[in-house]
Structure 1
Amino acid sequence: RWSIAQLYDAAIHDAPHTQHVRYMTTLSGYVHWYLTGERVLGVGDASGMFPIDPKTHRFREDLLNQFNDLYHKEGYTQDVYDVLPKVLVAGEDAGYLTETGAKLIDPNQELQAGCPMCAPEGDAATGMVATKSVAPRTGNISAGTSIFSMIVLDHPLEKLYPEVDLVTTPAGDEVAMIHANNCTSDINAWMDLFAEVLDTMGAAYTKEDLFTRMFEKALEGDKELGHLLSYGYVSGEFITDVPPGYPLFIRSFESQFNLANVMKTHIFSAFSTLKIGIDLLKRNEALEIDSMIGHGGIFKTEGVAQSFLAAALESPVSVMQTASEGGAWGIAVLARYHVDHQGQKLSDYLDHHAFGDVEALVIEPKAEDVESFKQYIERFEAGLPLERQADTHFNS
């Protein structure tokens, strides 16, 4: 809804360009418009422009009419129905590559016009396709410098949550998107410290081997993680109400301060803020997750971060060979689905065609790890007042 919010903000502040606005779209929609001449947008990307009706998979007409009333009261005459693109779900006709579009792609004019085009989508929707996370009660987690989850809902949310952004799959099913600003940055800083120790000692190692050995060591950590606590907050977090971030590592003189517990604590911490956001929906909305796909560098060491994430979510977590392919591969799959689907649901098409032979490592949550993560989250939430005060006391 960022797009429509910007337009309304421009209207109430009398921005000079507002009266000239005739069409708004996303980057993917803009490129598609140039290539095909069609003002259309995939429902996943469109859900970030304006709220989607989960039944019709189009923009909500009641809210379109409401916006028109407010917009016209500000003295503007455009109709929002004309300003926004037409919404399409995966498989619907989105136009054909024009002669002009072909020349834009290939100035040598070897590429011919006329090929069918699928509905344009952004990286969130194509990422869901690339990880086969489009069926209800499935989802994916992308973990890097930041971390976010996309969970396909099997029923509408009853309440509004500032921590949760509602988008859709390319097929139009509602998705709860939860984003945390911090994930692996603090872990990387500790790895740099460990590397400096090895360099000082003159030890021979590779960075990949260092990460692998340190992550594998985390599996030896005890159930209580040595009573250690880490906040890898190099930036602020909306979910936990931490405006500026300040990385903290906390222990008492009685803590079991060893390498295994340190590494386990850091990995648990990387997933903690996201878990708090997901647990909010589990408590209040009966959110259920049958399976999740993890992708990102933190999962490179087989079975470590993946098993801890399974414990955090209390659901199976898979890491697939195609998870590193990303959005470019996802939109290619959508394009193939557009010409091949023959009425088949997108989720079924992915199961039987795009991912039929793809191998995946699936890890089920272990009861002792689930309990361990619950205990850690209690300490994590109890210590948040310290994290909130850290920047005030040390950077003021």
Structure 2
Amino acid sequence: MTTKDIIEQGKAYLGIEFGSTRIKACLVDENLVPVAGGSHSWENRLENGVWTYSREDIINGLQDCYADLRKDVADKFGVELTTFKGMGISAMMHGYLAFDKNDELLVPFRTWRNTITGEAAAELTELFGFNIPERWSIAHLYQAILNGEEHVKDIASFNTLAGYVHFLLTGERELGIGDASGMFPVRDGNYDADMLAKFRGLEKVKAFGWDIADILPAVHSAAEGSTAKLTESGAKLLDPSGNLKAGVPFCPPEGDAGTGMAATNAVREGTGNVSAGTSIFSMIVLEKPMKGHYPQIDVVTTPDGADVAMVHCNNCCGELDKWVNMFIEFSKLTGNPVDVSTAYELLYKNALNGAPDCGGVVSYNTISGEPVVGLANGKPAYFRQPDSAMSLADFFRAELYGAMAALKAGNDILFEKEGVQPKSITGHGGLFKVKGVAQQMLADALNSDVSVMSTAGEGGAWGMALLAAFGIEKQGETLADWLEKRAFAGMEKSTLSPDAAGNAGWKKYMENYSAGLAGAKAFGEI
């Protein structure tokens, strides 16, 4: 059967992921190989001190991404998209979308990037004896209560971005367990009952007419699946052209952490992955419960409900991208312009020629705050020792190190205090597109082998398409077994081991990075 036949007969799977800078659609065939895609670029805005996207941003972006997919399919295969065997929605995790009884948004979407819930996160962490990060939905809700915000009394439901888009398309308020675990702690396949009771018992919470358990979305694991289907109104919303038919089965919506685990075959105990784009985070599936809790480490779950130690950093490639664009601009001034791909290739690979400790140059990529290293507010910055050579290689190596430094700081705690040692780490996302550069630097940083698969650039949209396929095909198999058999059998991958000089260079770099954090904090508060 040709790819055209598969698409025409509705046997392809679709994954759509809302990333921080791009909404991406990935269409896969029966062999789970990507055959077409679409995308839409967008940017969050800082409005009244809050990082946000509007409802119009979300809907227009969804429609434009799907329209781009339709065009790609038409150009490649000469056919119109009308239906799929299964589909799913994923998005950047956490954040806060609160709705009234008419499903109207009560306040602008508060994204994961905000660092405005410190008081609530600290109180809930102490109450639960469990780390509640600032970006988690429950921290945003409780902070709104502490702030005395008017909208809280009118809340009928709240959700993540993936859950909201899933609701728009299917009418169902539900989440995959991985995304749900970033709203409120989970245990035994659902929200933690003891912690729900503790939250419910808070005097400031008792003042409202709602119950926390009633306003959270329902929880489903990937194995449990979903009964949700694309509604008539959802089909019209997604595809205003009217060609898309209702009735497509959906899997539970997931966060970008869950799709990253699926896209890197890292859902089995002892495996790990690093997703690196606008933000960077590592996910290591725990083989045993953690003994302590740390503000730098979240405990979330795989799409099938296994505990995961997550180190989530708000910043990664954003500052890097600005510098690359500046060099592209310079190339145009010389009369010898280079394209974007060439610029990344040249600058990244040349960074390998830099000193392993970056020659005394240190970069803070903090476009926004970075709680993992104690920065409430962010401003990008760099410093160097007065006697630094300040070569281009040293400078750009420092920029690449800076993109991973907070991640290393968090994982050092996990490895040293909890004795966690992953059997494998797989990298994916835009940072790894230039072969062998960020991959080697990450291996040196974590002192662990790091693999990158041939699908590293496909990212979360492909991972979401895999979860959609699992939702249809699962027959009593675990997600880990199904992924290995169906998606990753024979998958091409490259593995790099840590370099002793690189690892030593990282240690010196982190000494300088840590020593300068007080200055970075002061600079961020200006």
Query: Which TM-score band applies after superposition, normalised by the shorter structure?
Result: 0.7 to 0.9
**Pick from 136, 161, 164: which aligns with 2:294?**
161
1:48/1:237 Cα in 2 relative to 1: closer, same or farther (>3 Å)? closer
Which residue matches 1:273?
406
Deviates more, 1:374-383 or 1:96-105: 96-105
Code of the residue aligned with 2:245 in structure 1: it is L
Which residue matches 1:303?
436
Cα separation, 2, equivalents of 1:274 and 1:18: 34
1:258 aligns with 2:412: no
Code of the residue aligned with 2:198 in structure 1: it is Q
Cα separation, 1, equivalents of 2:230 and 2:324: 51
1:196/1:58 Cα in 2 relative to 1: closer, same or farther (>3 Å)? closer
1:212-238 per-residue CA deviation (whole Å, 9 max, x = no partner) reads: 222222222334433333334444432
Which residue matches 2:226?
94
Cα separation, 2, equivalents of 1:11 and 1:296: 36
Cα separation, 2, equivalents of 1:190 and 1:380: 19
Deviates more, 1:284-293 or 1:69-78: 69-78
Three-state SS of the structure 1 residue aligned to 2:191 is coil
TM-score when normalising by structure 1: 0.84
**Pick from 304, 307, 320: which aligns with 1:174?**
307
The structure in which a higher percent of residues are strand is 2
Q: Give yes or no for contact 1:38–1:94 (8 Å, CA) kept in 2.
A: no
Deviates more, 1:195-204 or 1:219-228: 195-204
CA positional deviation for 1:137: 2.7
**Pick from 277, 280, 295: which aligns with 1:144?**
277
CA positional deviation for 1:353: 0.5
- Percentage identity across aligned positions? 40
Which residue matches 2:190?
58
Three-state SS of the structure 1 residue aligned to 2:434 is coil
Code of the residue aligned with 1:280 in structure 2: it is I
CA positional deviation for 1:319: 1.9
Cα separation, 1, equivalents of 2:230 and 2:284: 36
Cα separation, 2, equivalents of 1:381 and 1:335: 42
Q: Give yes or no for contact 1:92–1:118 (8 Å, CA) kept in 2.
A: no
Code of the residue aligned with 2:263 in structure 1: it is A
Q: Give yes or no for contact 1:143–1:183 (8 Å, CA) kept in 2.
A: yes
Question: Structure 1: where are the runs of 5+ without partners?
Answer: none
Cα separation, 2, equivalents of 1:169 and 1:333: 14
Which residue matches 2:521?
388
Which residue matches 2:372?
239
- Root mean square deviation, CA, Å: 3.1
Deviates more, 1:41-50 or 1:238-247: 238-247
Cα separation, 2, equivalents of 1:175 and 1:217: 35
Code of the residue aligned with 2:227 in structure 1: it is G
Q: Give yes or no for contact 2:433–2:457 (8 Å, CA) kept in 1.
A: no
Q: Give yes or no for contact 2:222–2:251 (8 Å, CA) kept in 1.
A: yes
CA positional deviation for 1:299: 2.0
Q: Give yes or no for contact 1:92–1:119 (8 Å, CA) kept in 2.
A: no
Three-state SS of the structure 2 residue aligned to 1:318 is strand
TM-score when normalising by structure 2: 0.65
1:280/1:260 Cα in 2 relative to 1: closer, same or farther (>3 Å)? same
1:170/1:340 Cα in 2 relative to 1: closer, same or farther (>3 Å)? same
Q: Give yes or no for contact 2:428–2:459 (8 Å, CA) kept in 1.
A: no
Which residue matches 1:284?
417
Q: Which has the larger radius of gyration?
A: 1
1:384/1:64 Cα in 2 relative to 1: closer, same or farther (>3 Å)? closer
Deviates more, 1:291-300 or 1:225-234: 225-234
1:319 aligns with 2:452: yes
CA positional deviation for 1:98: 7.0
Code of the residue aligned with 2:186 in structure 1: it is I
Code of the residue aligned with 1:377 in structure 2: it is M
Cα separation, 2, equivalents of 1:386 and 1:13: 30
Which residue matches 2:382?
248
CA positional deviation for 1:289: 2.2
1:39/1:249 Cα in 2 relative to 1: closer, same or farther (>3 Å)? closer
Q: Give yes or no for contact 1:102–1:109 (8 Å, CA) kept in 2.
A: no
Code of the residue aligned with 1:304 in structure 2: it is V
Code of the residue aligned with 2:384 in structure 1: it is I
Cα separation, 2, equivalents of 1:72 and 1:235: 30
Code of the residue aligned with 2:273 in structure 1: it is N
1:347-388 per-residue CA deviation (whole Å, 9 max, x = no partner) reads: 111111112243222212122222221222122222333333
Question: Structure 2: where are the runs of 5+ without partners?
Answer: 1-131
**Pick from 373, 383, 394: which aligns with 2:506?**
373
Cα separation, 2, equivalents of 1:316 and 1:384: 29
1:336 aligns with 2:489: no
1:24/1:363 Cα in 2 relative to 1: closer, same or farther (>3 Å)? same
1:366/1:109 Cα in 2 relative to 1: closer, same or farther (>3 Å)? closer
1:338/1:382 Cα in 2 relative to 1: closer, same or farther (>3 Å)? same
Code of the residue aligned with 1:111 in structure 2: it is K
CA positional deviation for 1:306: 1.0
Runs of 4+ in 1 over 6 A off after TM superposition: none
**Pick from 11, 21, 29: which aligns with 2:163?**
29
Code of the residue aligned with 1:42 in structure 2: it is G
Three-state SS of the structure 2 residue aligned to 1:322 is coil
Which residue matches 1:48?
182
